[in-house]
């Protein structure tokens, strides 16, 4: 009977496997000691700290590969932030790659990380280009109007004060 129990105890580890730790998502906050260092916090899908995360995990921070030591789901990046900066953090699991882009603002009170979404990285340049295009068309319209006004001013005696007065009277009569 002892041999059977010993054999079963010996065989159990062969059919079981350890639970693999995996960072599914992470957040960036200031370290609790407020020493100018960033804390990377492993979170679950509800953005609560994933306390089962322990050990070394590889991150790429602004293009430099770093092995971060996690304890209870929290790791502190060793380098302190000297001034406001942008930080790109990437972590690759077996399943997927997670990347987060932050603007870290440094003030006298400490660090404040602001997450920048990928949608904002697309929309902001698109809006700037749209405004530039609209301004270009507006500028073209203004140049054409100035040329037309110049022609009528010199050849037909049009005065800008008379033109504006006529516009104001027209608006008053309209309302």
CATH assignment at residue 68? 2.60.40
Instruction: Please give the pLDDT value at position 168.
Output: 72
Rounded CA gap, 110 and 102, in Å? 15
Q: Within this chain, do residues 77 and 162 fall inside the same structural domain, yes or no?
A: no
- For a pLDDT cut of 90, what percent of the chain falls above it? 15
Q: Above 80 in pLDDT, residue 3?
A: no
Same-domain pairing of 66 and 17: yes
Residue 123 or 1, more confident: 123
On the question of pLDDT at 133 being above 70, the answer is: yes
Spatial neighbors of 104 by CB under 8 A, at least 6 apart, are 28, 38, 81, 84, 85, 86, 87, 111, 112, 113, 114
Listed residues 96, 116, 136: the one ending a domain = 116
Average pLDDT over residues 15-24: 68
Please count the other Cβ atoms lying within 10 Å of the Cβ belonging to residue 94. Answer: 6
- Listed residues 67, 83, 116: the one ending a domain: 116
The structure's pTM equals 0.64
Structurally, how many domains does the chain consist of? 2
- Please compute the mean of the pLDDT values over residues 88-108 and round it to a whole number: 88
Q: What is the pLDDT of residues 37-61, one digit of tens each?
A: 899 999 988 888 988 888 899 998 9
Q: 138-163 pLDDT, tens per residue? A: 888 888 888 887 777 777 666 667 66
């Amino acid at each position: 009977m002892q041999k059977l129990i010993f054999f079963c105890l010996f065989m159990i580890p062969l059919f079981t496997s350890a639970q693999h730790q995996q960072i599914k998502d992470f957040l960036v906050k200031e370290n609790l000691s407020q020493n100018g260092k960033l804390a990377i916090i492993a979170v679950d899908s509800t953005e609560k700290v994933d306390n089962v995360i322990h050990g070394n995990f590889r991150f790429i921070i602004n293009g430099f590969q770093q092995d971060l030591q996690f304890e209870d789901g929290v790791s502190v990046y060793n380098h302190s932030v000297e001034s406001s900066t942008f930080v790109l953090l990437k972590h690759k699991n077996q399943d997927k790659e997670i990347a987060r882009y932050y603007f870290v603002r440094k003030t006298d009170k400490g660090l404040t990380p602001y997450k920048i979404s990928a949608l904002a990285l697309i929309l902001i340049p698109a809006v700037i280009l749209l405004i530039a295009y609209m301004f270009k068309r507006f500028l073209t319209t203004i140049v054409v109007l100035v040329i037309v006004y110049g022609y009528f001013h010199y050849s037909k005696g049009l005065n800008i004060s008379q033109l504006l007065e006529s516009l104001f009277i027209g608006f008053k009569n309209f309302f």
